[in-house]
Amino acid sequence: MKIGIIGLGFVGLSLTSVLASKGYDVIGIDVDNEKCNKIINGISPFFEPELEKTLQNGLKKKLKIENNFSLINTCDFIFVTVGTPQKSNGSIDLSKIKKAISTIAENLLKNDKKPIIIIKSTVIPGTTKKVILPILEKKLNKKNGKGFGLISNPEFLQESNAIKDTKFPHAVVLGGDQTEFMKKTKKLFMKLHPNIPIIITNHQTAEMIKYANNSFLATKISFINQLSNICQKIPGANIDDIGATMGLDPRIGKLFLNAGPGYGGSCLPKDMKALINFASISGINPTLLNAVEEVNTKQLEQIISMTKEKLVNLTSKKITILGTAFKPNTDDIRDSIAIELIKKLLKKKARITIHDPKAMKNTKRIFEEKINYAETMKDALSKSECVIIMTQWKQYEKLNNNEFKYMKRKFVIDCRRMLAKKQLDVDYYAIGLGR
């Protein structure tokens, strides 16, 4: 059995590496030559814990990395993991997946294996049946369920935990017609993930499950953030104690109850906007989803208000941002709240210095020489009039009066409450803590 994976981004490369490390015969395909060359040499094009190690293990076995689509005509299973980026109106851009599907079809004309094409890319409900399937049937001149199989299989990976999530998913969702192809796909996943629940449903339900999951997680984050804003008006109130206690209730669960500057990353903001857009054009007013988005936007405004309250005029004031990655243990800055904060502070003519253990290079691609990049904590804090902790990197927990002594004005906004239990000689504000 041979497996092809189209698109070697975060999802595709994680899947490719895990399957190959397990001994499967895998071909990873991407149109980016530079990316392919890095991967061939065991180098991940982005930072993800355990990924490079898993990739290198896979390369020692049966993994091939190519930019040549013709090789998929030997594959029994073809996973499609290309990106579906966001358009300006919130809808998703299907151009990459349309091109990938067309290219796959063109290279399957000589395939007599009746391959199974598995869509892992995140797409709005109805996309697989209305967009992807017609392309395949027209170009292949074959019918789904006879000449090939088409399965929806949404992914639920968390950045910084992708390898573990790929190996041990909480569930497997398979959407499609109940054919022999579905039986074969189920068999594959049962072998990959024994004792993991497998949900068999139709395409549109499988697609909707992904959006349902992410919109609910975004709702939990906005809910705890709104509570944190209330807590800040209550002397002595602590949002961490509240969130931890709520998490003990099995009806609620402990995950995604850490108050902070708002949700970001490559999934939650994009999927929320896409679902809102989809609901709107379907004639549904997504009141709750809109409110979740509004709360998230206001979290950022609150940080700026706290900054202005103390510094008044931000012009020429040196402000230090600690952490630009949307979460720790990744270099991903896509839809990072920290990036949006920097943009807004620059408009107010503040002088920005940033520090991040992994995301400095990606941040520089956006801002170039408009901001300063500090390699050390001393450089980051020196002569700063305000430091804002945005990302929960472990090393920021070690900050103490020794580092803060380099500041011109000792004013700290801790969006993650990392320093809340320390005795600090600073003017300290933290999201979710009452003063």
- Residues designated catalytic: 267
CB atoms within 10 A of CB 313: 10
Cα distance between residue 328 and residue 330, in whole Å: 6
Q: Which amino acid, 124?
A: I
Q: What is the number of alpha carbons within 13 Å of residue 409 lying toward its C-beta?
A: 13
Distances (CA, A) of 253 to 48, 114, 220, 246, 352: 26, 43, 10, 7, 38
DSSP assignments along 168-185, one per residue: S-S-EEEES-SSHHHHHH
DSSP assignments along 306-321, one per residue: HHHHHHS--TT-EEEE
Q: Which amino acid, 172?
A: V
Which helix (H) or strand (E) segment holds residue 13: the answer is helix 10-21
In terms of Cβ atoms closer than 10 Å to its own Cβ (0-12, 13-18, 19+), residue 368 is exposed
Q: Are 155 and 11 in contact (CB under 8 A)?
A: yes
What are the respective helix, strand and coil percentages of the chain, to the nearest 5? 45, 15, 40
